[in-house]
Structure 1
Amino acid sequence: MTALVKIRSERDQMSAVERRIADFILENAQLLRDYSSQQLANALGISQSSVVKFTQKLGFKGYPDLKYAVGEAMARADNGDAAVVVAQHDGDATESGSGLWRRKSEAEEATRLINPSETLDAATHAIAAAGKVFVVGLGEDDIPARAFTFKLSMLGMLVLHSFDMARMTASVSGAESGDVLVVFSEHGNHPALCKIARQFRDRRGRVVTVTRHTSNPVRALADIALLVSAHDEREYIQSLVYQSALQHLLDGIFIHLCENDEKRHAALMANLERIQLLHEP
């Protein structure tokens, strides 16, 4: 993991001061080699000790080690080995497209790093072993929820999806031990989703949450928490980056479900064939 990817993946868990330091480094990585820890502190209007604590929290012995690691990451980017430099928005369509691609790549890598294989395996196993899978998401979160529901259905799994809280409450009343509820909530702070998750756990079902890499009420109720890391100072770009990283995460789970069970793979092939027949005259 490069220093810049590590900073980006841990940003959501940082304090306000730490996020200011992180954002400065991410946006001005090429300038960091000319800054001492005191100069960086002065530029941000914080204490030098805050900079030192920030570097140590990331696992570096000191600020010089952080500078070296960032410089190494920049050198790799210059050689085309990694996309870690933040593109500056200058109105040029080609550059903007390239910058978006880099942002998405960075978010996908950071998301992969904060979801260890053990967590992904646990989520995949829980969904695969469930008698019924319940899927819920509100607002924009319902878009990936619908897509994930469709993919699971294509594998021949019994999936119940709803964006209506009253209907989902009624559905959850029929949940049994071993069933799984997948909750999509980017910011994880919707009270209704928390209530649904608690009701599901009362039925001895397992809760899988998909949220940003932050401490939030929905994630706190998870048996298995899937996390997404995506950042950009422009809100409209950050939304695109989040969706891309989330889709990459879900695609990985779908592939594991498909490839690790011949019956599910056969169901997928059969359903694809049926859908193809619908389009024929």
Structure 2
Amino acid sequence: MTRYSVFGVLVALMILAVSMSGFAQVQEKNLVGWWLFDDETEETGNWGDIILRGADIKNGKMVLTRDNWANSIEYNGPDISDVTLASWVTLNDLGHTHGSALTLDRTDLDQFVAIVYAERQARQWMPGSSHFRRTSDFPDVVNEDKTGEMVLLTITYKLDGGQYMITGYRNDESMGSFTKGDKRTWTKDNAEAIWGARHSTNVDGRVSNSITADIEESRIYNVALTEAEVKSMYKGDLAVEARDKLATRWAKIKR
């Protein structure tokens, strides 16, 4: 190897080191679920492996079709009351509705929050919930008008005076907020993450059909991210360190 090649390698390593040190740790301590879909594992260690119920993991994506979904149980993390749900989603069929890009449910009863597609309004994302207790239409929601476009969908739930302030984002743009629903908690051994179906019954049965979509990454925080933090997440600045840091860096490159 020539000295120029060595120099080039050193420069590349320095850039990588700076990049990794800058993966900043805004709210990292509150990240309780993180899925990159390189395989069935979850990055924080708080969840059991993904159970594929007809869905597939292929080329770093969760691949969902109309009758096929997936979930993850065996939660072993801290209590969750304030919530942020985030998924990088590509819809592949605008007509396959009522499913979810990411759901947080309990395993013992029907208590869920979710990023749901077109359950109430055609071609619109909404905050799904059990019996619509934490659901209204976002005032500035955007209609989805094409397939094959990846978007970051984020919904935050922040307790304010005993009620949830619920805010939605599409990429880095707010879809507006509303206040609805009293405090709910998801606890160790009593939480379930779901992709495709809106929610489940007895953990292994889906309550709705699935969306037809690819999911590149999903996150659950036990805090409501601020608008600035959502914007940083969309730009790639609200990053976190996985157990396999180099694998994580390459996983980010795929986006």
Q: TM-score range by the shorter chain?
A: under 0.3
Indicate the structure (1 or 2) with the bigger Cα radius of gyration: 1
**TM-score (normalised: structure 2):** 0.24
**TM-score (normalised: structure 1):** 0.23
- Name whichever structure is richer in helix by fraction: 1
- Name whichever structure is richer in strand by fraction: 2
